[in-house]
Chains A and B, each alone.
Chain A
Amino acid sequence: MKKKLSKFIIKVLLIVLGLSFIFPLYWMLNLSFKTKSEVYVNTFGLPREWVFTNYPDVLKSYNFFVYFKNSLIYTVGNVVLTILVGSMLAYCITRMNWKYSKLAISYISIGLVIPVQVVIIPLFIMLRQLRLQNTYIGLIIPQAAFALSSCVLMLSAFFRSLPMELEEAACIDGCNIYQTFFRIMVPVIKPAIATQTVLLFMGAWNEFPLSYILVTKEAYRPLTVGLANFFLQIGVTHWGIVGAAMILTSLPTVIVYLLGSEKIENALTAGAILK
């Protein structure tokens, strides 16, 4: 009896906490259907008067589809580049007979603590000299460089957990190193790559400081910079529109997350992550 009760209490606790985690979604949706004035009178309750014009208003005032396309290009480019380069480096560090592998991983991990804001001006000057400014690749490369550290660290952990027999077998079959890597190792760590893909996607989609400073043409702006324009402004009081803008901006991450969360979980449960 006592056991049942405690189980029930735990259940309630978990459900309440779980609901708090999806509360932001409710909050944004709710805002996006409210009138300008209702937000202040009735902040968290359901709209008394449902307004559907906020979405078209956002689409009008905000170059949504252009920004969306840009965000997609940056994000996909970033994920592909980071995963490719990161997995190769991680493989080299963990599986190859490289004298400097320990040094390399310590070196890469410095990237976790470097604040983007500090290096942004030299980065800007560099991109200009390389004539990469206002090109898609000109933002993908620095974003990928900053995402690389966490990617390499996590993939290294995965690679380390794999048995040596994998390569031995490949060797006996006559594969060279490149075939071994791309045909055997990469498929084996697919769950890890899926996890990284989802994490990198979220990171790249929500990335702000680099895109804000490095992209100077409106035609190349991603969604986050567009969204920031709704917040930073002085004098904008219409939270309904802000809510709609937030929903439209977050939608892709939510979808990717819902599609990918099962994969993340499987990957993590595979237990490979930190062995």
Chain B
Amino acid sequence: MNKYFSTKTSIFIFAFPGLLLFTAFVIFPLIPELIISLQNHDGFASSGYVGIKNYIDVFQSSMFWKSNRNTIIIVLMSTLITLPFSFILALLLDTQTSGVRRFFKASSVFPAVLSVTVIAQMWVAIYEPQWGLLNSVLRAVGLESWTREWLTDKNTVVFAIGTAFLWQYIGFNMLLFYTGLKSIPRTYYEAALIDGAGPVKCTIKITIPLLQDVIKYLLVISVLGSMAMFAHVEVMTLGGPGGIARTIVYQLYYTAFMTSEFGKGCAYAVIFVIECLIITLIINRFVARERIEY
């Protein structure tokens, strides 16, 4: 039947506008970047080709590895902590009365709809060491020794920014899990209960396998989302102090625009896109049973 519809003209008409739009305005501007990454370019003008020197410089700079480390920390936080946590939240939500459910569902996506600037500024106020909410609460409950200068202490700054970032999207993840749960027919659980399976066993044997698609989708989206984290870092600490909180994309921006090494910044961009492609390949390869198109 599809063959009847799928004439070459109709395929062209359906696919062409989207592909053209995407190619012309997203892929095509990458070509000059690729070229510039081989040049010594200050953002204003080029002073000639330098081969792969920019790439060598990038790999030799300690900031590249530091920013990669920070990015990996955030990716790990989002996959190992946020995803399981939002999954558990979804399970817990299922046990509650409809009033609680409605309130929680309605509020959960709220942080994700606000602009990053607003959210990040709020977290700056929360982390402020002297009158910020976090330290005030810690002091009030007698945990004075736990207070920190969250955004300037090199041991906490990445985690502090990461928390703000993940908190913003935890509710959205939760909602996707929850709606996934709701789509699993009740009869499956009833059958399992008759067989004498407990709630934990039910979750492992029924829920997780049936939610595979949701899990895969969220995994890809959160990994790529945290790889590309930028605005939170910029608003909260400008990547600092001294650049210790930079992510790869912030380092890219810093190099291309702030220190005006545009050529090197483009090299960062090329490396970053390749990293992301490798990561998605890995996810597709090892996590998905069959290849998924996220």
Q: Does B239 sit within 8 A of A, measured CB to CB? A: no
CA distance A54 to B150 in the complex (A): 30
List the A residue with the shortest CB-CB distance to B214. Answer: A274
Choose among B93, B136, B180 the residue with the greatest number of A CB atoms under 10 Å from its CB: B180
- Contact at A271–B183, with CB atoms within 8 Å? yes
Known: A118-B265, A157-B217, A228-B117. A167 touches B5 (CB 8 A): yes
**Given A88-B17, A115-B253, A246-B121, 12 extra CB contacts under 8 A:** A11-B96, A41-B131, A98-B15, A113-B280, A122-B33, A145-B24, A157-B217, A171-B1, A231-B235, A249-B115, A253-B115, A270-B183
Question: A14 to B119, Cβ gap below 8 A?
Answer: no
* Cross-chain contact of B5 among A122, A142, A171 (Cβ < 8 A): A171
Interface residues of B (CB under 8 A from A): 1-7, 10-11, 13-15, 17-19, 21-22, 24-33, 89, 92-93, 95-97, 100, 103-119, 121-122, 125, 128, 131-133, 136, 167, 171, 175-176, 179-180, 182-183, 213-214, 216-217, 224, 227-228, 230-231, 235, 249, 252-253, 256-257, 265-266, 269, 272-273, 276-277, 280, 293-294
- Asked if A177 and B10 make an inter-chain contact with CB atoms under 8 angstroms apart, the answer reads yes
**Given known A21-B107, A115-B230, A269-B179, contact A43–B128 (CB-CB < 8 A):** yes
Return A237 CB to nearest CB of chain B, in Å.
14
State how many angstroms separate the Cβ of A201 from the closest Cβ of chain B: 9
**15 residue pairs from A and B, CB less than 8 Å apart:** A14-B93, A98-B11, A108-B22, A109-B294, A112-B224, A146-B26, A149-B22, A167-B2, A168-B1, A177-B10, A202-B113, A261-B109, A264-B175, A269-B182, A274-B217
Which residue on B lies nearest to A42, using beta carbons? B131
Minimal beta-carbon separation of B263 from chain A (angstroms)? 12
A113 touches B276 (CB 8 A): yes
Given contacts A14-B104, A21-B107, A122-B29, contact A105 B3 (CB under 8 A): no
In the complex, the answer to whether A17 meets B118 with C-beta atoms within 8 Å is no
Contact A27 B131 (CB under 8 A): no
In the complex, the answer to whether B5 meets A177 with C-beta atoms within 8 Å is yes
- Whether the pair B103, A265 counts as a contact (CB closer than 8 A) is no
Which residues of chain A are within 8 angstroms of B228 by Cβ–Cβ distance? 113, 115
Contact (Cβ within 8 A) B95 A10: yes
Please, how many angstroms separate the alpha-carbon atoms of A41 and B266 in the complex? Answer: 45
Cα distance A236–B176 in the bound complex, in angstroms = 40
Q: Does A25 contact B (CB under 8 A)?
A: yes
The answer to whether B179 and A15 have CB atoms under 8 Å apart is: no
4 closest cross-chain pairs (CB), A and B = A271-B183, A89-B18, A145-B25, A268-B179
* Chain B residues with CB below 8 A from A270, complex form: 183
Q: Does A269 lie within 8 Å of B183, measured CB to CB? A: yes
Contact of B27 among A110, A115, A177 (CB under 8 A): A110
